[in-house]
Structure 1
Amino acid sequence: MFATRKILPKIYRHLCSVPLLPPSTLLSSLNCSFSSIISNHQQPQIFNKSPNTNLICTRSYAKGKDKKKENKGKAAKVVINETEISELVKVETLKTQLQKAVAHMEEDFIKNLSLRSTTGSIESVPISLNGKEHTLQELAQIVRKNPKTIVVNFATFPQAIPAALKALSKSGMNLNPQQDGTTLFIPIPKVTKEHREQLAKNAKQLFVKCKDSVRDVQNKYVKQVKRQDKVSEDLARNVEQQIVALADQFIAEAESMLNKKQTELLGDK
């Protein structure tokens, strides 16, 4: 309404100034003049809002599903309380069995993952004979003939030679023993890139074996807890979680040893 009152006087003044013209010409002139007046008229602006202007600060909150996605994979840290564990299982026996699995892996690393075959590493190679397991040094005399050859004499237990040949070949030390009667001649292999990589793979296999042993111990004790029906559910659940967390610690220790050994095997020039 306000705009109309301002525009009409302008139209009237314009009509008065227009000379007498034919109707068609007059109508065309009026249309052009009206359009010009409308386009030139500036309406008052109370507020000029830019498309990029933000008047209200908002804060977005994650929805329930989004929160679950953010927290997924972030397991709560379990605090190990040995006093609480001991209420349901023998915690010292549990720790001893877990440590035994890691110690066994460490022994295997020493025996089977040497870059250079030494007399000491060959002496401890396990040999199966008549259903029993023996070390090579228990069945034969082992001497280093020269820097490149180790001699193994089976004069006392010649029947152990086939098993010894098999065990030495599969020892992971890249050995290729040669038999001459009751004696084995073992050339000390040159350290190659392929040999290093194979030893690193063997280390990973020994770690996996250790990890499985730790989990076996863990599962055995978790089952012991589950069989106890005269304890509160909260206590049983807490102890189960702590047993798993304790096993995880030993696995982490074993994995650290694996990483160190693989670095030694692959990085040693």
Structure 2
Amino acid sequence: MGTRFLQRLVLPVFIKSLKSHPNLANTRERVLCVNNYIAVRNYAKGKDKGKDKKGKGGKVEINITQMSELVPVDKLKDRCQSAIEKMKEDFAKNLSLRSTTGSLDSLPVKHDGKDYELQELAQIVRKNPKTIVINFSSFPQAIPDVLKAIYNSGLNLNPQQDGTTLYVPVPKVTKEHREALAKNAKALYIKCRDAMKDVQNDFIKKTKKQTGVSEDTVFSVNKQIIAMCDEFQNQAKNIYETKHNELLNK
């Protein structure tokens, strides 16, 4: 029952009784004091509750020895680091401000239901600083799928077909080209981040399958797994932000 409701309900009764029982004034004062005490106490509880919530969010200390009892920590680190290295490799191959043969070599192409890299389907040569030549003389049936892959690559390329050969003009570094590359950088970063989330979930599942281990230990190790994966994700984010700023010339 609310404090204000009690005040409205109880106090008028005591006030009315004061006429015939003057010494109840002290009682009335006590009621007021009690009500004030309840209000202050409830307010203090609310403040303490807020403090408790804030206190739960501190930095998690990573204890490698404890973690190693439940999961192979080195494998966790290796998988996260591999995801970062893959992102960096993709950045180097696909996010050059000047389109190069290297950017096209590893361009993914879906042909006849299978995944290929462009270099597996054609011969790629840089004829001059302004033109890349892609020769499909031994695999001309792949040209439509390759054209589709190039148009959807975000590399801002506009190939011209002449028989079994594609001539690819190297575009100028425009604002639109920079923005397209920055968008691709974000997609590659998200792919890396999701890969590390999968690593985190895999290792948390491993801890839950352990037997003869206390719930507190499992809970503690899971928090440490999340903290360790967060560190790798922050590392990936920093690499992405540096690349993003470079592409946009910030």
Aligned mates of 1:221, 1:64 — CA distance in 2? 39
Identify the residue that residue 239 of structure 1 maps to in structure 2.
221
Q: Does 1:65 align with 2:46?
A: yes
Please say if 1:162 is aligned against 2:144: yes
- Residue 218 of structure 1 corresponds to 200
- Deviating beyond 6 angstroms after TM superposition, the runs of 4 or more aligned structure 1 residues are none
Q: What secondary structure sits across from 1:72 in the alignment?
A: helix
Note if contact 1:204-1:258 (Cα within 8 Å) is conserved in structure 2: yes
1:124 touches 1:137 (CA, 8 Å); kept in 2? yes
Name the larger-Rg structure. Answer: 1
| Count, aligned residues | 207
Match of 1:87 among 59, 66, 69: 69
- Contact persistence 1:126–1:135 (CA under 8 A): yes
Query: In the alignment, residue 196 of structure 1 is paired with which amino acid?
Result: R
Question: C-alpha offsets along residues 108-144 of structure 1, whole Å, 9 cap, x if unaligned?
Answer: 2112211110122211212233443322222211111
Report the 3-state secondary structure (helix = DSSP H, G, I; strand = E; otherwise coil) of the residue aligned with 2:248.
helix
The alignment partner of 2:181 has SS state of: helix
Matched, 1:191 2:173: yes
Q: Residues of 2 paired with 1:65 and 1:195: CA distance?
A: 54
What's the secondary structure of 1:186's corresponding residue?
A: strand
Corresponding residue of 2:246:
264
In the superposition, the TM-score normalised over structure 2's length comes to 0.76
**Distance of 2:85 and 2:50 partners within structure 1:** 39
AA matched with 1:112: N
**TM-score computed with the length of structure 1 as normaliser:** 0.71
1:215 is displaced (CA, Å) by 0.7
Per-residue CA shift, 1:179-217, capped at 9, x if unaligned? Answer: 111111111111111221222122122212211111111
More helix by share: 2
Asked if structure 1 preserves the Cα contact closer than 8 Å seen for 2:179 and 2:248, the reply is yes
Aligned counterpart in structure 1 of residue 79 of structure 2, from 74, 97, 121: 97
Residue segments in structure 2 that go unaligned for 5+ positions in a row: 1-42
Q: Deviations over 1:126-182 (max 9, x none)?
A: 223344332222221111122211100011111221221111112221111121111
Q: Indicate the RMSD between aligned Cα atoms, in angstroms.
A: 2.0
Instruction: Indicate conservation of the 8 Å contact 1:225/1:236, yes or no.
Output: yes
Q: How far does residue 74 in structure 1 lie from its aligned partner after superposition? A: 6.9
How many percent of aligned residue pairs carry the same amino acid? 57
The alpha-carbon deviation at position 106 of structure 1 amounts to 1.3
Code of the residue aligned with 1:141 in structure 2: it is Q
Once residues 73 and 256 of structure 1 are traced to their aligned partners in structure 2, the CA distance between those partners, rounded to angstroms, is 28
Which secondary structure state, in structure 1, belongs to the residue aligned with residue 157 of structure 2?
A: coil
